[in-house]
Amino acid sequence: MIPIYINLCEYLSQKLADMKYIDLFNNQYDTAEKEHPFNMPSVFIQFMPIVDWITNSDGSQTGTLKIQFHLVTTCYSDTANAHKMSAIDKQMSFKHLQFVELSHTFLQNYAPVCCTNLQRTAYFPDSEHNQIYATIVEYECMFTDNSTAESIIKETVEVTPDLKVERPIDRPVETINEFPTPEPFQI
């Protein structure tokens, strides 16, 4: 999972200019007083258990990987009566949700290293954190773990086939017409 995590960190750092912090999820926003301080907007990445591993012929394994992205933002603006707001007020009031939408724009169909394209499978809006919004968006992809494939490749044995003919050809060699002369092409 380390290469996937590093790949996602690099990718999101390039795409989300407003992102201030990225880390593996460890319940940081619910236990902020016990954690390292972090600036927002933040992204916390959580790898869910893989329970359907299939072993491939080369020794690699493939499984369905679910990744939850905890998109943590702040919102001190009022969102009440948004239909009466000016365009600038709407932009400021919903900036926290714009970060979530922009994140999805970049994550949907992105293929992290060793994975197929990410596909969103769940969306959990926040309703428990006052001015901190922790929206969880879950994506799914197929992950191929090649870490054991090399050990099987190293154990392969080179086979030299025995091409000796056990029985003679049933007709004389001079009657075998392996490369017949083509007939002239007629127009």
Q: Is residue 156 part of a domain?
A: no
CATH number of the domain to which 26 belongs: 3.30.2000.10
- Note the pLDDT of residue 133: 85
Distance CA 81, CA 4 (A): 42
pTM over 0.75: no
Q: Which of 147, 136, 154 shows the shortest CA–CA distance to 53?
A: 147
Domain range spanning residue 86? 2-145
Q: Is residue 35 part of a domain?
A: yes
Q: Is residue 49 part of a domain?
A: yes
CA–chain centroid gap for 13, Å, is 16
Question: Does pLDDT of 5 surpass 80?
Answer: yes
Q: Which of 29-38, 52-61, 131-140, 162-171 shows the lowest per-residue confidence on average (mean pLDDT)?
A: 162-171
Q: Is residue 133 part of a domain?
A: yes
Q: Is residue 111 part of a domain?
A: yes
Q: Is residue 27 part of a domain?
A: yes
What pLDDT, in 10s, does the model give residues 43-72?
999 999 998 999 999 999 999 999 999 999
Q: Is residue 127 part of a domain?
A: yes
CA–chain centroid gap for 115, Å, is 5
Residue of higher predicted confidence among 144 and 176 = 144
Distance CA 12, CA 126 (A): 21
> How many domains in the chain?
1
94-108 burial, b at 16+ Cβ within 10 Å, e below that, comes to bebbebbebbbeebe
Q: Is residue 177 part of a domain?
A: no
Question: Burial, 125: exposed, middle or buried (Cβ in 10 Å; 0-12, 13-18, 19+)?
Answer: exposed
